[in-house]
Structure formats: C-alpha cells, structure tokens
Chain A
Amino acid sequence: MATAVARRLPVGRAGKGATGWWGMMLLIVTEASLFAYLLFSYFYLGSMARGAWPPSGPPELRLALPNTVILLLSSAAMWWAESGVRRGRQGRLRLGLLLTLVLGIVFLAIQVVEYSNKQFTPATDAYGSLFFTITGFHGAHVAVGLLMIAVVAVRAWLGHFSERRHLAVTNVSWYWHFVDVVWLAVFTSLYLSPRFL
C-alpha cells in the first residue's frame, strides 16, 4: 500500500512530533512522576506527624514568593525566545535565551540565600530532610536546565538554528517550562499548603 508507490516525504522534522520531541515528552512524564512521589512522601509524613507540621511553622514567603515570580518570568522569556526562532528571528532567540539564563541564575542564588537563612538542616528531623531534598531536587533540575540553555545559547550564536531546524530549542523550552510547573507544585505544597491545611 502506502509506500509501494512513489511519494515525497520530509527528511527529519523541526519541532513537535519529531522522535527527539517525543523523547523529551516522555522524560518529562517520568520526571514529573518523580516529583509526585517526593511530594507524596512530604504529605505522607506530614499526615503521620504527631506534633506541629511543619515543626517550625510554615516556611517564610519573603524570598520564595518573589523568587517564584522570577522563575515564571524566565518561562516567559524562554517562550519568547522559542517563538522567535520559529519565525526565524535570531536576535530574539539569542536575547531570550540570555534573559532566561540570567533569571534562572538569580533564582538559584536566591535559593542559596534562603537555605543559609534556615534554622534547621537536612539532618535535624524528617521535615528538614524533606524540605532540603525536595527543593534540592528541584534546584538540581534548574541547574541542569540552565546548562542545557547555555549550550543551546552557544549554538544559537553559532547560527545552528533556523525556522526549519530548531528541535533543540523546542526541547529545552519544554523542559524549562516543566521545571517551572514543578516549582509551582513544590511551592504550593511546601510553602502554601501548611497555611491552609
């Protein structure tokens, strides 16, 4: 049938639907599950806790709330860069990637400041273990994302991408948006939920 007659087909694919894009989607699925299990552990131990949960009261929002906004802005910058290259705008791609990179680094720096302000450590109690492990896992994903963005930015400067060929940009942007969505879940669970529950 189909291929027993001659036909014209594209060689490879630019974005959505490419094998590489599917690979990234499935990576995101399994990574999202990982965070789901980490947050399950948080709520499980919280529901089993005998005293107050969290033991030292809900974590402060003074740094975390602005930091959340910074991460969301970085997602917007990433979207701006990716939609730029889809229209073939190299300048927008480069500037957008750079902006994302800077905002991501600021996020991590503020995270470090918040860590150093904490009155407890990972070894204090189970809550400390959960807090640092969950936010640390997220921080590690941010760091990996920044590394990916840095590599893609270098490639953008080398002119590797065009409106027809930009799978790496698309994949990195999906990953970055995923890392941001995970942060919203982490933020809601660790910072906001103790205020309601």
Chain B
Amino acid sequence: MATIAPAVPSPSLHERLQRIWETPPGLFGILGTVDHKTIGKRYLVTAFTFMLAGGLEAAIMRAQLAGPNERLLTPEAYNQLFSMHGITMIFLYASPILSGFSNYIWPLMLGSRDMAFPRLNALSYWLFLFSGLFIYSSFLVGQAPDRGWFAYAPLTEGPFSPGLHMDFYALGLLFLTVSTTVGAINFIVTLFKLRAPGMSINRLPIFIWGTLTTSFAVLFAMPSLTAACVMLYFDRRFGMHFFDAAAGGHPLLWQHLFWIFGHPWVYVVVLPAMGIMSDMIPTFCRRPLAGYTFVALATVSTGILGFGVWVHHMFATGLPDLSTDFFSAASMVITIPSAVAVFAWLATIWHGRPVLRTPFLFAAGFIVLFVIGGVSGVATAAVPFDRQLTDTYFVVAHLHYVLVGINVFPVIAGFYYWLPKMTGRMLNERLGRWNFWTMFLGFNLGFFPMHIAGLLGMPRRIYTYPAGLGWGTVNLVTTIGSYVFAVGVLLFLINVLWSLLRGPAAGPNPWDAPTLEWATSSPPPPYNFEVLPSVGSRHPLWEGRLPDEGTARSVLDRGPELGDGRETLGVTPLDAEPSEILTMPEDSLYPFLLALSLLVTFYGLLTSIWALAVAGAVLVIAMTIGWLWPGDVPEEA
C-alpha cells in the first residue's frame, strides 16, 4: 500500500517528473520510446504519408481516365494502381490516422499519464510501419497487389494470379491485423483502468466512445480477415482448396469472410472521426453537445449493427431472396443511429453561437458530405437498385463520399483543432479557409459526377473506355475536380509547414474547449499532468458557466503527484473510483526488435525461404520472453 496525498504543482515537482518520464535523446530514445504522444505523432505522420502515396496513385489513374482511349498506363499497371490505392487508403491511412489521434489524445483527454500498455503501444506502431513498408516493397519487385482491395476469389487463386502480387496482399494484411488488434486491446484496457477519478462512463467525450466502439469491433471483426488471408495464402502457396469450387471449396466463402470483417471496418474508420466531430462542434458552438446520451448510444449501436449488414456487399452474387431482404432491411435500420448523430450536430449548431474558424468549416463540410454519402448508401441498400449499380462508378462515388466525407474531413478538422496542442503553434486561419474551400469544392466537383458516370453504366476498375459512350465529359470533370482536391491537401501541408515555422503560440487552451487535454500546456510535458486531475462533469473546463449543471466540480490544480517513479492512477472500470497505483514501464527496445523479427518472418513466408521464417519466429519468441521477463519488480503488492 502507498498513501497518496494531494499535492499542488511546483518547480521541484516538475523537475522530478521530467527526470522520470523524459525519453533520453539518441538512437535508444528514438527506437525505444514508449511515450504515447511521440507514438501518436508517428502514427499521424506515417498514415498521412501513406495517404499522399495513395493520392498519387489516384492522381495517375485520373490522368489515364481523363479522356477516352488514353494510353498512359498499361492495364496491368492500372490494376496495381487501383488495388494499391484502395489498400493504402482503407488499411494504411483511414484507420491508422485515427489511431494516431487516439494515441495522442486519449491519455490527455482521460487525465492519465500514458496508455495502459505503453510498450504494446510502441509495438503496434512499429508493426503498422513495417507491414505498410512490407506491402509497398511489392513495387520494388514490380509485383504490387493487382486484384483489388477486396481481392475476390477465384481471381486471386494461384492459377489465375501468378507471381507474388496477392501474396504481398495476404501476408501484408495478416501482418497489419496484429498491429490493429494490439492497438484495440490497449485502447479498451486504457478506458477501463486509466481514467481520471470521477470520469464515469456518462462523462466520457464522444471521441472516446467512438474509439472504444471501434476497438471492440476490431476484436470481433479482424479475425475474419485473418482467417481469410491465411486461407488465401494456404490456397496459393500450398495448393489448398478453400476457395476452389472444383475441390469442394467455394469462392463465396472469401466474400463472406472478407465482408464480415469489411463492413464493421467501415465503422472502424468512421466512428472515431464522428466522435472527433461530436466533441469539436460543441467547442465552436459554445454549448454542450445536444443529446449526449443519444449520440453515445448511437455510436455503440452503429458499431453493433455494423456486424449485421455485410451481405449488402453481395447482393449481386445470387444469394436467396430471403437472405438479401434481411440484410437490406438491416442496412436501412443502421441509418437510424447515423441520423440521430446528424440531428444532434444540427441541434447543437442551431442552439449554439457558431464561431466560424477553420475546424468548424471542416465540421460543417463533413455534415454535408455525410448526408450525401448516407443517402447514396441507403439507395444501394435497396436490393434492386444495388443490382443495377453494383460494380459501377455509382458505388465508387458513394464510398468516396463516405470515406472522404466522414474520415478525411474530420481528420483535417482534427489537425486544425489539435495540432496547436501537439506543436504549441496555431495554423494560419486565412490559409485554412482557402484550404477548406479548395478541398470541399474540389471534392464535390470531382466525385459528384461519378454518380452520373455510374448511372450511365460506367463500370469501376476499367483502365480505359472507348469514345462515344458519353462518359468523356464526366470523367474529365472528375479528373479536374480531384486535382483541385489534391491542391487543397497541398495547401494543408503548406499550412502545417507555416505553423511549424512561424505559427503564433497557442497557449494551453486556444479554443476555450471543455475537455481535459486543454488543461495542460501545449505541447504537453512528457508526464502530461503534474498533478492528476479528478473530474466532476462532462465539461471540466467549462464548469461554472453552464446553465443546468450539477454541483459536482472537477479539481485540476490539486491531486496526486505520484512522483516516486513512473506511476499513474488505476480506477474501477464503470465509476472511475481510484483503485490502485499503476507502475508504468520504462522505454524499451523490445517492441521495435519484436516487430523487426516479425518482419523477417513475413519475408520468409513470402519467399518460401522457410529457414528465414523459422529464424524470425524464434527471434519473436526470444524477444517476447525478454520483454516479459520481470526487471526489478517491487515485491509489495
């Protein structure tokens, strides 16, 4: 047992905590750090870089499609580009970028000093980086995945897809699932145990609800992709027959497994982003979120319903009517929680006093795109309509409205909102407006015509089209619009650069926002909070100025210092009553080395050099044992 007495911040306490928590400079610090803020920033930069790569792939494709009969790309090159564009955006950008925000923001928002498992956090980053590099290394041998990001069998089976293309796909995604799973477990346990005292579940920011729901979805959905990729690899490499109809397998098994994973994954890449919006809109409307409880419940129920709609990706495969009808109905039901969230945002804006800063512009743009993408989603949930439009550009338009609208716009909003917290410097407001309008207009100019191209019958994934089908104009407009959108992304990067070089100082709370991450300095010190805060409401930093608030008050300037070592507070899962002091791990090279060993294993599996695979596996075991072997654990419990 240890007694924790409340303390107040002081220079000597700051120095003591700094010594305990600071990562030493040098190679060890770079490879060994377990600071969630560093890891979060790495996630953000890496995922954004992958997004730029995926964007470049798209830009080349749009040049090819700008007019009929273009010959810029061979069909083979085009196949690799659209496959890698999808894989990159869906797997290497959309989810990891949100993990980046969550990693950085969670402990600050929850009033803790780190995540529950800081070393696992480092591991999940290294695994993400290495699996991304593994997939991209396919370009070096000219054999990038080329059968689309959902890789339908039997087109991916050995006889129809020679070369390493789809082995990179199967193994690369398998590698990435480890990272995502480890990350999800970390978020859930962090939420259960590492919150500020008093932050009961009815006081959690919606962003936390979003990432929490997502993390549970990952635990239940990811194994389906794991199973599918293992089977694909086994079929291709060892002549097994999971998807081979001639020997008792079934190509639809792949589709079922892929979409049982794939549809929950859609919510994985949007729910945290919607959470970012639900927390940000109130800040810029100067009032709490309307219908907090409903939005929290809508978030969780979307995550759960997301498991019951996968067959709407398979309406055109000849499944029985009873089955398609059921999934059509389920897909329509899921619009209800989405609508609840939209009306909660609208009500918040309606009853608030909106401050039209850049993050709010992106939030407003997000709501518009969400509604358009939602409507085309309901349309394709209707079986007859979907059978007409499946595999056309209408679907491409829909999924881009959803993923760009509900992921990219909130992400850029999130950068404008939280980058001042991370760097201590504001972004340029004027450039921000240009940034928003270029992206918003460019996106709509580029992607709205895709609906029309789809209705005109243009199939997706064709590398070119003949003249005289009436597709030329819409495609030219799409290409122009997507390039305007790309200029918008470039403006964002320029703004970030401007901010880093000459942005004005942000101060702890530049937006006068209500949540805990704004209670510490910008950028926060390595230990986050000098004394650990306790929480009395949903808006710790707005207390005393809201009507109808309770009498409970947060305490931010006085609390446990836990300055005897790397320590933070553990609480009970539901009520957030303090229950124990958690000893946190030091920086360590094991996460990096473990991820590196796994990379060796995967290259062994890719090349069929089994000795390499075994050597990698032995190293993985050795690193795990070294990692878990106790150092100088205090004997007292």
Contacts and interface: CB of A to CB of B under 8 A. Distances in A.
B223 to A, nearest CB: 4
B107 to A, nearest CB: 14
Contacts of B231: 41, 129, 133
A1 interface: yes
Contact of B253 (A17, A45, A124): A45
A2 B577 contact: yes
Interface of B: 1-6, 116-117, 120, 181, 184-186, 188-189, 192-194, 197-198, 218-224, 226-227, 230-231, 234-235, 238-242, 244, 247-250, 253, 256-257, 260, 532, 534, 536, 552-553, 555, 558-560, 567, 569-570, 577-583, 621, 625, 628, 630, 633-637
Contacts of A27: 185
Contact of A12 (B198, B244, B580): B580
Contact of A123 (B194, B241, B578): B241
Contact of A8 (B2, B188, B634): B2
A104 B635 CA distance: 31
A126 interface: yes
A75 B534 CA distance: 43
Q: How large is the interface on A (under 10, 10 to 19, 20 to 34, 35 or more residues)?
A: 35 or more
B583 A11 contact: yes
Contact of B249 (A14, A30, A45, A164): A45
B4 A3 contact: yes
Contacts of A133: 230-231, 234, 240
Given A1-B197, A29-B219, A37-B224, A126 B4 contact: no
A124 B239 CA distance: 9
Nearest to B240: A129
Interface in A63-106: none
A4 B185 contact: no
Contacts of B583: 11-12
Interface string A17-47: 1010011001101110110111011001100
B193 A6 contact: no
A151 interface: yes
A125 B248 contact: yes
A23 B6 contact: no
Contacts of B3: 6-8
Given A3-B197, A9-B580, A37-B227, 8 more contacts: A4-B559, A11-B583, A27-B185, A33-B221, A124-B247, A125-B248, A133-B240, A168-B628
B6 A33 contact: no
A182 to B, nearest CB: 12
Nearest to A26: B185
B219 A1 contact: no
A13 to B, nearest CB: 5
A36 B219 CA distance: 12
A44 B223 CA distance: 17
- List 10 A-B pairs, minimum CB-CB distance, nearest first: A126-B248, A34-B223, A164-B637, A129-B240, A126-B249, A2-B197, A6-B5, A123-B239, A30-B219, A33-B223
Contacts of B534: 1-4
A41 B5 contact: no
